[in-house]
Amino acid sequence: MRHYYGAETEKALKNFPFSTHLVRMEFILAMVQIKKAAAVANFAAGNTSKEIQNAITKACDEILSGKHNNQFPLSSFQGGAGTAIHMNVNEVIANRATEILKGKIKVHPNDHVNASQSTNDVNPSALKVASLFLLEDLEKKLYSLVKTFQNKSKEFKNINKLARTHTQDAVPTTLGAEFLSYSESLKKHESQIKTAQDLCRVLNLGGTAIGNSINASPVYIREVYKELNKIINGKFYKANNLMSKTSGQTDFLMISQIVTAMCVDLSKIANDFKFMSSGPNGGIGEIILPEIQKGSSIMPGKVNPVMPETMNQLYYLVSGNNLSIEKAVEGAQMELGVMIPIMVDKLIESIQLSTEVINQFHKLCVVGIKADKEKCKHHLENSTAYATLLTPRLGYDKVSEIVKKSVATKKSLRDIVVGEKYLTEWEFEKIINSKI
C-alpha cells in the first residue's frame, strides 16, 4: 500500500501544514515501544486476541527497525496535546498489522492498538522513555569531557599565570588550577543528569485520559510496565499519583533546567577559552586552541575560536528551549498538560544537540589545547598580581604605594620591591612560591 496512516493523519496534514521539521523519530520510536508493550499487556488482560497481539508486535518491530520511517509525516508543531501524532502511530501500526494478518482480521487503531490507553498517558510516557536514553548518551559524553579537563589540569599544573577578576589583574594561580576548576564545575552536572534520568523513569502510563485509569484494568497496568521494562531493559515504574503526572508536566521542566544549567557552565568555560586564546599578538594568548578551519574569507591567517562559539550558541538555543518548555508546562489546564508537542520537540532537541556539541567541543577543542608558557609568565610578571601575596609582609598601605608606582612607571612589582630593597630576590621568590 502507498501509506499505512489513515484519516486522522490526513486531517492533521491539512490542519498543521507547517514548514517545520517533522515529529522527532526518537519520540515516535519510544511510543512504538509502548505500543508493543501494550499489545502484550492487553492480551494478558483479555482485551485482544493472540493473533492481534502478534500482528501488532510484528508491526512495531518493523517500525523500530526503521522500515517505515516515511509513514510519520506530521509537523512537530501542532495543537491538541499531540493526539494527531499519537493517532498517526496508532494508524500505521493498525494498518500494517491488518496487512500482516492478510485482512482476515481488521486491526483497529483505537479499539486494538490504543486499547487501555490515551494520548494523555502515552505521549508523556513516550517523551520520558526517549529522554532517558538521550540523557544516558549525554552523561557519557560529559564524563569524557570531565576526564579530559582533569588530565589537562595535571598537564598544566606547574604553569604559573595571572588570575583575573572583573577582567582585571587579581592574584597568581596556575593554568592547571583553572582547568581543574572547570572539571569540578562540570562534574556536578553528572549527578544532576542522573536526577533527570530518575525523573524519566516515573510514568503516568496506565492513567489513560486524566489519570484515574478509566478503561485500563489493574492487570493491564501491571503487565504493561513489566513488558515495557523487558522490551527496553529499563526500570520504569508507575507514578504514585497518575492524575498528578497527567495534569502537570513539571518533570520535563526540571529535566530541561538540568540541561540548561550544564550549558551555562559550558558556555562560561567557552567564554574563558575565547578570552585566554585571544590574539595571537593583540590579545591574551595564554592558551592556543587547535586550528580546525580558516577564520576569515578576507583576513589571511586568521584563526577563530569556532568551537567555543558553537558552545555559546548551544547555550542560547537550550536556554530558549527551556523558556518554551516552562511556558508550555505552565499552560496546563485542570487535568491535562496540553502543550506536549512543543515540549517533545524542544526537550529532545536540547538533550540531543547538547550531546553532539559537547562531543565536538571535546574532540576538536579541549583535547588539543596547548599552553603558551611564556605568555603566561609574561602577563603574571608584568601584572599587579603579586601585591596580595606581599601584603602580609609589607602591609596593605605600603604595597598599595608600590602598585601605584608600578602602574605609573610600567615597572614590574618584582623590579620595584627588589630594586628599592623592600625584599631581596630570594625573599621575594620564597613568598611567591609558597603562595601559588
Block residue for cell numbers 526518537: 26
Q: Are residues 191 and 332 in the same domain?
A: yes
Residue 278 included in any domain: yes
In a domain, 379, yes or no: no
Q: Is the same domain home to 411 and 370?
A: no
Same domain (yes/no): 366, 391: no
Query: Do 217 and 95 fall into the same domain?
Result: no
Question: In this structure, what is the dihedral angle of CA atoms 108, 112, 113, 119, given to the nearest 10 degrees?
Answer: 100
Residue with cell 549525554: 138
Q: What 3-state class would DSSP assign to 280?
A: coil
**127 in the same domain as 110:** no
For 104-169, give the DSSP string.
Answer: SS---IIIIITTT--HHHHHHHHHHHHHHHHHHHHHHHHHHHHHHHHHHHHHTTT-EEEEEETTEE
Angle between helices 306-330 and 250-276 (to 10 degrees): 160
β 370-371/287-288 pair status? antiparallel
Q: Which three cell numbers stand for residue 295?
A: 577564520
Q: What is the H or E stretch that residue 191 is in?
A: helix 175-200
Q: 3-state class of 203 per DSSP? A: strand
Q: How far apart are CA 416 and CA 422, in angstroms?
A: 8
Q: What does the pLDDT read at residue 293?
A: 78
Residues 395, 283 share a domain: no
- Give me the CATH number covering residue 48: 1.10.275.10
Q: Cα(375)–Cα(64) distance, rounded to whole angstroms? A: 55
CB 220 within 8 A of CB 206: yes
H-state helical runs in 277-412: 306-330, 340-361, 373-381, 387-394, 396-409
Residue 1 covered by a domain: no
- The pLDDT assigned to 234 comes to 84
Same domain, 163 and 238: yes
pLDDT of residue 294: 80
Helix axes 119-155, 83-100, angle to 10 degrees: 100
Give phi and psi for 2, each to the nearest 5: -65, -45
Q: Which of 181, 296, 324, 383 is catalytic?
A: 296
Domain boundary among 68, 92, 115: 115
**Tens-place pLDDT, residues 357-392:** 999 999 999 999 999 999 999 999 998 999 999 999
The one-letter amino acid at 269: I
Residue 417 within a domain: yes
Q: Are residues 71 and 154 in the same domain?
A: no
Question: Any residues with CB less than 8 A from the CB of 237 and at least 6 apart, and which?
Answer: 201, 202, 203, 225
Report, as ranges of residue numbers, the positions in the chain whose pLDDT lies below 50. Answer: none
Distance CA 194, CA 190 (A): 7
In a domain, 158, yes or no: yes
53 located within any domain: yes
The pLDDT value given to residue 184: 96
| Residue-number span of the structural domain to which 109 is assigned | 7-115
Does 368 lie in the same domain as 232? yes
Number of domains in the chain: 3
Q: Are residues 130 and 22 in the same domain?
A: no
At residue 304, the 3 state secondary structure works out as coil
CATH number at residue 248: 1.20.200.10
Q: Decide if 2 is inside a domain.
A: no
Same domain, 261 and 347: yes
Question: Which of these three, 72, 94, 115, is where a domain ends?
Answer: 115
The identity of residue 38, as a single letter, is A
Question: Do 121 and 202 touch, CB atoms closer than 8 A?
Answer: no
- Chain length of the chain: 436
Is 296 a catalytic site residue?
A: yes
- C-alpha of 7 from chain center: 36
Q: 218 with 363, same domain?
A: yes
For residues 188, 193, 196 and 198, what is the CA-based torsion angle, rounded to 10 degrees?
Answer: -100
Residues paired with residue 392 on neighbouring β-strands, in sequence order: none
Answer whether 331's CB lies under 8 Å from 338's CB: yes
The pLDDT value recorded for residue 1 is: 54
CATH number of the domain encompassing residue 421? 1.10.40.30
Q: Which of 115, 150, 177 marks a domain boundary?
A: 115
- Radius of gyration of the chain, Cα coordinates, nearest whole angstrom: 29
pTM equals: 0.93
